[in-house]
Structure 1
Amino acid sequence: MKQLIVTADDFGLCHEVNEAVIQAHTQGILTCASLMVGAKGTDEAIQLAKNHPTLKVGLHLVLVEGYSVLPKREIPDLVDENKRFSNHIVWSGIRYFFSPKLKKQIAKECEAQIQKFLEAGLKIDHLNSHNHLHIHPTISKIVLKLAKKYSIPAIRIPYGLFPFSFFLKRRLKQASILHNDHLLGLSETGRMGEETWLKLIPHIKEGVTEAYCHPATETTGVLKETMPRYCHREELEALLSPRVKESLDHHNIQRISFGDLS
């Protein structure tokens, strides 16, 4: 059987993303969204999620290029005075690996993000992270421990980021945590338009594939600052496209959420 989870990342980042997520779910093929709990549009996204219970929402952990939940005094080496993480992904990854002090602060912040999600009254469908940082050796250990503690049922494997994805898959199997078998969107990040979808769909394999995307009604504000090359509007239009839906139906691909795997 071919099953497809269609996920929108960055839910909660801003109004334009939130609006697109709901459109894509109610009128298109979107089944899931991954929520940033420390962003400016988080409160709006939480309310939208509650108003649309068929949209399955997971946690989009943020440890780079975004804002923390905890104040700087509790994680002084992770964020600046404005609670903002570094934008330098590689350098952050190196620091996170070698500093015991940072590891403790990362664990504290990760747990705070999980707790904020749950305190909002939402059920965690899955977990992933901004820029796939949960495959980092240090962070993956923290995430798996917290996933067991808070009964998080599924975690995304970003296949293609070898060898980190290989080690994550092995750890998830050992921990009996669900995951996707395949992934679409890694090499197409920011370019998951209609034509891209139509090229990818015929090649979807047996098992559970997750396709992730970044829809928005327009690229303005924080989107223009942080993802200026992403085709947000085109990605939304693809999720709403009758041609894409018809192709999925033609190839007998069932759309599901991570929650359907349990």
Structure 2
Amino acid sequence: MKRVIFSADDFGLDPAVNDAVEIAHRDGLLAAASLMVGEDAVEGAVAVARRNPGLRVGLHIALVEATPVSDPASIPDLVDASGRFPSDMVRAGFRFFFKPGVRAQLAREIRAQFEAFRRTGLALDHANTHKHIHLHPTVARLIVEIGRDYGLKAVRLPVEPGGPVARAENAAAAGGFGAAALRTWTGQLKAMLKRQGMVTNDQVFGLAWSGAVTEARVAALIPHLPDGVSEIYFHPATSLTPKLARTMPTYRHADELAALVSPAVKRLVAAHGIECTSFGELAEATKTRVAA
């Protein structure tokens, strides 16, 4: 059986993202969005979610290239001189792993983001991270341990099989050391999530095409989706605002929105017998099976 979750990241980052999420859910295939609780447009995103109760909203935990929820003075080892999370994920990853004091600050910030999400009053559908930093085992462990206090039941597994992407583009699958390392990290994350009883997807699409998940690419991918649960994640926006131009200058936000509302993509999904779902629906089905 093939199922797919159409989702959007960076909900709450910018009003143009919020508008696109609402359009894509109301008029297209978007089932879920992941909320950045520390960004300026978070209140507008919450209003969109309240107007659209069928939209499943999760927490997009941001620990790099983002604004913290905690007072920067309380997490000095996580932020730069401007009080924001820096972009150097490699350096951050080493410090998360080797420095207990940094890990304590990391736990404080992750809890603060879950707490900020709870204050919105929205049901927590899932969690994932900005730039997929939960591939780091320390980050993943803290998200699961802390998230349980807030009802977390589902986490994104950022593992993208190269075969379907290559067939969609009529190209050879990517390989090499980087691909092998990513498989190792995602394998470890998958095992940990399974041990902790978290619901997750089997594969994700959007990594290789980040910022350019266009209608043509999605249409080419649909016939090659593997069995199981696939998440296809997008970064839609109605326009390239100054903030988006500064943070994601090469992303084709409007084209990604067009893919989500494409009648052709919707027809392809139906023609291939693919069921659209969400993390919350998967968690509910798992709970029902366990109870039975």
Structure 1 length normalisation: TM-score?
Answer: 0.97
CA–CA distance in structure 1, aligned partners of residues 212 and 14 of structure 2: 19
Deviations 1:128-151 (A, max 9, x none): 000001111211111121122222
**Secondary structure at the residue paired with 1:5?**
strand
Matched, 1:35 2:35: yes
Aligned to 1:167: 188
Residue 69 of structure 1 pairs with residue 69 of structure 2: yes
Shift in Å, 1:173: 0.8
- Aligned counterpart, 1:47: 47
1:222 and 1:84 map into 2 onto residues whose CA distance is 15
Deviations 1:135-192 (A, max 9, x none): 1121111112112222201000000432111111101111111000111111111110
Consecutive unaligned residues in structure 2, runs of 5 or more:
161-181, 285-292
Q: Which residue of 2 aligns with 1:57?
A: 57
**How big is each residue's C-alpha offset from its partner over 1:44-86, in whole Å with a ceiling of 9 and x where there is no partner?**
1011111111000000000000000010121111123543101
Structure 1 match to 2:281:
260
Distance 1:104 1:18 in 2: 32
1:236 has 2:257 as partner = yes
Q: Matched residues in 2 for 1:218 and 1:89: separation?
A: 28
In the aligned structure 2, how far is the partner of 1:28 from the partner of 1:7? 11
Corresponding residue number in structure 2 for 1:178:
199
Distance 2:47 2:102 in 1: 33
Q: Residue in 1 aligned with 2:170?
A: none
Give the TM-score of the pair, scaled to structure 2.
Answer: 0.87
- Which residue pairs with 1:219 in the alignment? 240
1:145 corresponds to? 145
Aligned Cα root-mean-square deviation (Å): 1.1
Deviation at 1:95, TM superposition (A): 2.2
Q: Find the residue that maps to 1:73 and give its secondary structure.
A: helix
- Tell me how far 1:38 sits from its aligned partner: 0.1
Matched, 1:23 2:44: no
Among the aligned pairs, what percent are the same residue? 44
Mean Cα displacement is larger for which, 44-53 or 23-32? Answer: 44-53
CA distance change for structure 1 residues 153 and 236 in 2, over 3 Å: closer, same or farther? same
Kept in 2: contact 1:95–1:102 (CA 8 A): yes
Aligned equivalents of 1:22, 1:144: Cα separation in 2: 29
Contact 2:144 2:152 (C-alpha < 8 Å) held by counterparts: no
Distance in 1 (alpha carbons) for counterparts of 2:266 and 2:43:
31
Q: Is the 8 A contact 2:114 2:147 kept in 1?
A: no
Unmatched segments (≥5 aa) in structure 1: none
What is the rounded CA distance, in whole Å, between the counterparts of 2:30 and 2:277 in structure 1?
Answer: 9
The AA in structure 1 aligned to 2:270 is D
Contact 1:72 1:81 in 2 (8 A): no
- Cα distance in 2 for partners of 1:83, 1:111 equals 18
Question: 1:162 aligns to what SS in structure 2?
Answer: helix
Q: Which has the larger radius of gyration?
A: 2
Opposite residue 208 of structure 2, the aligned amino acid is: S
| CA–CA separation in structure 1 for the residues paired with 2:157 and 2:185 | 9
Q: What displacement does 1:94 show?
A: 2.1
Counterpart Cα distance in 2 of 1:95 and 1:176 = 28
Match of 2:130 in 1: 130
Partners of 2:107 and 2:83 in 1: CA distance: 16
SS of residue matched to 2:270:
helix
Distance in 2, matches of 1:91 and 1:130, equals 16
In structure 2, distance between residues paired with 1:185 and 1:93: 23
Q: Is the 8 A contact 1:24 1:240 kept in 2?
A: yes
